[in-house]
């Protein structure tokens, strides 16, 4: 009976450590790929542009029956297995206290930008601002 109790006690002590890896690991592993800004150019269609930038955050009518779309994108927050492993190891070594540092560090990865694109009535890019 002592061996079983000892083994259960050890499992009870180790199990919480496995669940301590939290936000920083997930944030590092599931970042956002940088958009291919080289594909964003005058003459591209709306569909081609939205493949790289996603849906616009704001749409408005512009002059000449054109449409003005504002897109938001992020650069510098690509997924990283190396960062995720590092955060996981630090979580284990510090019994989860690393999350106090690791989560804000991952939260500040990357920088957000906005770009405004004017489309003509045929959804072809005519101007990039």
Q: What is the pLDDT of residues 11-43, one digit of tens each?
A: 776 655 555 446 888 888 888 889 999 999 999
| Cβ–Cβ < 8 Å for 102, 21 | no
pTM for this entry: 0.69
């Amino acid at each position: 009976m002592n061996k079983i109790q000892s083994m259960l006690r050890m499992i009870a002590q180790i199990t919480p450590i496995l669940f301590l890896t939290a936000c920083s690991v997930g944030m590092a592993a599931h970042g956002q790929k940088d958009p291919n800004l080289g594909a964003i150019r005058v003459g591209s269609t709306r569909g081609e542009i939205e493949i790289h930038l996603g849906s616009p955050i704001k749409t408005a009518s512009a002059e000449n029956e054109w449409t003005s779309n504002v897109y938001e994108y992020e650069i510098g927050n690509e997924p990283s297995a190396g960062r995720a492993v590092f955060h996981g190891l630090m979580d284990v070594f510090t019994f989860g206290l690393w999350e106090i540092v690791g989560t804000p560090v991952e939260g500040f990865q990357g920088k957000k930008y906005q770009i405004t694109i004017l489309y003509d009535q045929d959804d072809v890019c005519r101007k990039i601002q």
